Amino acid sequence: MKTKPSFTVNKLSLAIASLISVASVFPALPVYSQDAVKIEHSEINAQSTETAQSTQSTESSPSAQGESFPIEPIEVISVVGRLRTSASAATEERREQVNVTDIMGAEQIARTGDGDAAAALRRVTGLTLKDGKFIYVRGLGERYSSTSLNGATVPSPDPTRNVVPLDMFPASIIESLSVQKSASANAPAAFGGGHVDIRTKSIPADFFFKASVGGRYNTNDTDDALGYSLDNSGLGKDDGKRAMPDAIANTTNQYGGISPIDIVTGSQGGINYPAAQQLNRELALGMHRDMTVQAQDSSPGFKGDIAIGDRWDLSDEMILGVISAFSYKKQQDNYRKKELELDGDASNINIENQKDIMGTDSIVQVSGMVNLGLEIGYNHKIETFTTYLHDTSDDVSMGIEETIDTLGEPNALQIFGIGYEERSLISNQIKGHHFIEYLNDAEFNWKFSDARSERYAPNEMSYTYNVILDDANKVLSRNLNTQDAPKYVYSRLEDDSQNYGWDVSYPINFDGALVKITTGYEYFERSRESYATRLGFDVDLSPSDVNGGILSQDFNQIFSNANISSDVLGLELKDASTDTEDYIAAEMNDAAFISLDIDFEDVWRVYAGVRYEDFRRVTLPIDPEGKISDEGGRYQLDDYAIAEDAWFPSISVTWKQTDTTQWRLGASKTLVRPDLREVSPVRFQDPVTGFDFFGNPELKSSDIYNLDLRWEYYSDSGNNLSVGAFYKDVDAPIEPIQRISEAGRQLKFYNAESGYIYGIETEFLQQLGFLGDEGSLWEDFFIAGNLTLGDSAIDIASNGEIDPTHHSRVMTGHSKWVANMQLSYDSSDDYHSATLVYNIFGERIAYGGRGGLDDVFEQPFNSLDFTYSFFPTDSISIKLKAKNMLDETTEYKQQGQLVYAKEPGTEYSLQFSYEY
């Protein structure tokens, strides 16, 4: 067991720096990069008759891409709740991009009633949602997408995923969401399916105040909730009771371990064995043991948001703006799920293990932001963004587990689990946008961001009972399972990052053409420390012993102070950590690009650029002694270091066929790098499936060659239609593959030999006024939707660790079709607004099968949501939402048999809002 490496931080930093220096065969060039920091200048639709709402300011703009002069922001004219107006503004921004991009504004998010960025993004063409947190773009897994916050890269607080869990970003702080689907030189080269930029609220046009409160009810709330003695606090912060006692770490540092033998040996005979046993039991007494899982009444959910902003004219040339927001949510999600593990092959299938589980996930989410903006004339703007996100999950579960030996018999295992974790992200950003008039209105942009993410899991624990069940599966008798000792897991991950850069654009006017040359530099660095300690209560007592009746009691009674102190249990606190639970890592990336953007009389537009990146990474597994592990001689020290540099070209051509139609063609080279946890040979557990995953230091990056074609139609009335096609050739795609093991289901990351993905996608928005006469009810309705059809394939070879059933199959996580449909109503008197939204995706591989068993497929989920809003006054609104109205269940199947199912239930929420 260990809590920190045995060497000092200075030595650790020196070791990482030395390895990076050795690995850096190619030095970083003095290069330049561009952050897409631009200001949108929306135009007033000439046919619009709607009232002024707010000035829209976003991160991308036509001016920054084609204009050579600053433009004074124009106030957008919109009506409260009108999606078609907000959609038109987002569509106009998308139309002016040099690449294939989809934009979703705050009003569109409010329309669908989605509560966070993850839920909102599944409405975008070709995007699907995984585990309620992660986005799949064009059917590619979350590893093929990247996320930025206001244009800056931020670290993920989730150690099991490569990207930031998007459910951490509440809708109330989002100004817009941008999904870039084709590459450009100013974007990171680590780009596969798409890049998501989350833009937080911008500086307001005038003073505003907005507050909302709401509650929710889920059909699963009819079940009792599960809990234990430690409640989830109102702010989602542990009070220290769950933390591992300092005495355990101190004992380890002093004696080299916590077992009686370790203590005797470490004391060099100064402590005898009985005294060492007593010291070991005292360590157990210091741990929180009041962890009996029990039924509780379900608590109603609550959500509240508040935002306030204003701007001040400091002088004729200077404006200061500020906006702040706070969001809070607390709720309990009850669930039921079923898990099966199959063995054998296609002709002889056996159920190896089966679990029926019920549980409660108590959630607290707190977020806040403070943004400042300073505008100096029309040529200079400086902005700061401070964002704080905190998400706490306290998941308590109870289930019945049957194995191949007990299926059909009254014997079974009753399993209890408690998983408490806090995820947090704090980001500070500052950036500037400047026009330089005496240099032909050249543009200069710069940015700096500093972010820290953390996952703190002070007490994840599990214990089991051997039980006898009656015919109705009620427990007749039970005894603690001492063969599978109760386990405590304490873990912490800290991820720090810095991202800064600048770019310069210089416009040149020629007869019939406007040329913009852009160059820039960008730097990103990240360091991570991940530690985990596993402890077990080893009990030397059986039900047949004189005091064996103790084992039938509740957990807190079995491990009471009296029972531990008297040694009636024969208890020994053991270190159950594996050889490599911990790792430390650092990575640096220097990037530069140069691009040329040519607009030929607003008919043809050609964009060409190239990006250079020099990437270095070191990932070091730490053994129980706090030293760098070589995994039993399997790896050398330099196997943990990666150094790669490459050039990434991109080109796009836009042809404005008419005033309402245009074509886009784009080609580029990008790559996907393995994540830190994927290249570190340590074990981690997927929180959704419970499967054990292992990293692989031999992974290499996957080069991707991209081709995109899209036709777009934009009508003057706001209707639009687009049809596109895409193709991606992936070299050595990274896949999680089930490996050969007798220790249950284990997955490890490997490079497949090759892969590709292709498809077509279409999107539309259509007002329905044409179905009736002028002034008819049909003018209040419109529909919007999108559809993506595609296919993919990868080739995987067998080796000594894996034996895939299919050596050629579709890519993990890829759906062959994804569809969204939306029917919306806005009353002509502006009192009522309603939206019905349907989303579905085709089946997709959760993980590949082995040994003759088929792949495991996640089944289509028919999501039907309804949102109704009532606006009794200009300041007050009432919103009602129904989510998962079809009461669908998340299901995985293998060989046609259900192997995983989870029932999220149907949720109803009611929200009251006031705006001034």
From the list 522, 523, 520, 524, the residue with the least C-alpha distance to 444 is 520
From the list 392, 422, 396, 413, the residue with the least C-alpha distance to 291 is 396
Residue whose token pair is 């405590």: 488
From the list 727, 826, 814, 750, the residue with the least C-alpha distance to 784 is 826
Q: What is the pLDDT of residues 791-844, one digit of tens each?
A: 999 998 887 777 888 889 998 888 898 888 989 898 888 889 898 989 898 999
> What value does the mean pLDDT take over residues 415-425?
92
Question: Which of these ranges, 156-165, 412-421, 559-568, 706-715, has the smallest mean pLDDT?
Answer: 156-165
For the record, the structure tokens of 383 come out as: 């902005």
From the list 622, 702, 607, 686, the residue with the least C-alpha distance to 654 is 607
For the record, the structure tokens of 893 come out as: 């199947």
Conformational region of residue 596, where left means phi above 0, alpha means psi within -120 to 50, and beta covers everything else:
beta
> What value does the mean pLDDT take over residues 246-266?
92
Residues 6+ apart with CB under 8 A from 715: 660
Q: Is residue 349 a contact partner of residue 216, using CB atoms and an 8 Å limit?
A: no
CA distances (Å), 841 to each of 108, 128, 823, in order? 21, 7, 19
Q: Is residue 715 a contact partner of residue 690, using CB atoms and an 8 Å limit?
A: no
Distance CA 701, CA 732 (A): 7
Q: What is the pLDDT of residues 770-794, one digit of tens each?
A: 888 888 899 899 898 889 899 999 9
**Which is it for the CA torsion 375, 381, 384, 389, positive or negative?**
positive
In this structure, the number of other CB atoms found within 10 A of the CB of residue 696 comes to 18
In this structure, the number of other CB atoms found within 10 A of the CB of residue 798 comes to 11
Q: What is the pLDDT of residues 302-316, one digit of tens each?
A: 999 898 989 999 998
In SS3 terms, 854-870 reads as CCEEECCCCEEEEEEEE
pLDDT at 72: 38
> For the residues of 35-75, what is the DSSP string, one character each?
-----------TT--PPEEE----S--HHHHT-SS-----P
For the record, the structure tokens of 523 come out as: 């730097």
For residue 640, which phi and psi values (nearest 5 degrees)?
A: -90, 0
CATH class given for the domain over 294-539+578-641+650-915? mainly beta
> What value does the mean pLDDT take over residues 431-448?
93
The interaxial angle of helices 246-255 and 273-285, nearest 10 deg, is: 150
Which three-class secondary structure state does DSSP give residue 731? Answer: strand
pLDDT for 47 beyond 80: no
Q: Is residue 735 a contact partner of residue 757, using CB atoms and an 8 Å limit?
A: no
Which three-class secondary structure state does DSSP give residue 235? Answer: coil
pLDDT at 661: 93
> What value does the mean pLDDT take over residues 103-115?
68
For residue 304, which phi and psi values (nearest 5 degrees)?
A: -145, 145
pLDDT at 747: 80
> What value does the mean pLDDT take over residues 317-345?
89
Task: Tell me how far the alpha carbon of residue 456 is from its chain's centroid.
Answer: 16
Q: Is residue 425 a contact partner of residue 367, using CB atoms and an 8 Å limit?
A: no
pLDDT for 607 beyond 60: yes
Highest average pLDDT, of 51-60, 72-81, 222-231, 292-301, comes from: 292-301
> What value does the mean pLDDT take over residues 460-469?
93
> What value does the mean pLDDT take over residues 889-908?
92
pLDDT at 165: 67
Task: Please state the pTM of the whole predicted model.
Answer: 0.82
Distance CA 638, CA 24 (A): 11
Q: Where are the alpha helices (H) located in 576-732, listed in sequence order?
A: 676-679
CA distances (Å), 895 to each of 344, 747, 855, 867, 892, in order? 11, 19, 8, 38, 10
Residue whose token pair is 């579960």: 397
DSSP at 628: B
Instruction: Place 161 in a pLDDT band, splitting at 50, 70 and 90.
Output: low
- The alpha carbons of the chain give a radius of gyration, in whole angstroms, of 29
For the record, the structure tokens of 157 come out as: 């607080």
- Higher-scoring residue by pLDDT: 681, 50: 681
Q: Rounded mean pLDDT of the chain?
A: 82
Instruction: Place 2 in a pLDDT band, splitting at 50, 70 and 90.
Output: very low
Domains of the chain by residue range: 294-539+578-641+650-915
Q: What angle (nearest 5°) sits at the alpha carbon of residue 327, between those of residues 686 and 320?
A: 125
pLDDT at 689: 61
pLDDT at 843: 92
From the list 765, 798, 697, the residue with the least C-alpha distance to 111 is 765
In this structure, the number of other CB atoms found within 10 A of the CB of residue 395 comes to 19
Q: What is the pLDDT of residues 675-699, one digit of tens each?
A: 888 888 877 776 656 677 888 888 8
pLDDT for 7 beyond 50: no
pLDDT for 139 beyond 70: no
Residues 6+ apart with CB under 8 A from 145: 135, 136, 137, 163, 192, 193, 194, 195, 196
> For the residues of 682-718, what is the DSSP string, one character each?
-EEE-TTT--EEE--TT---EEEEEEEEEEEEE-TTS
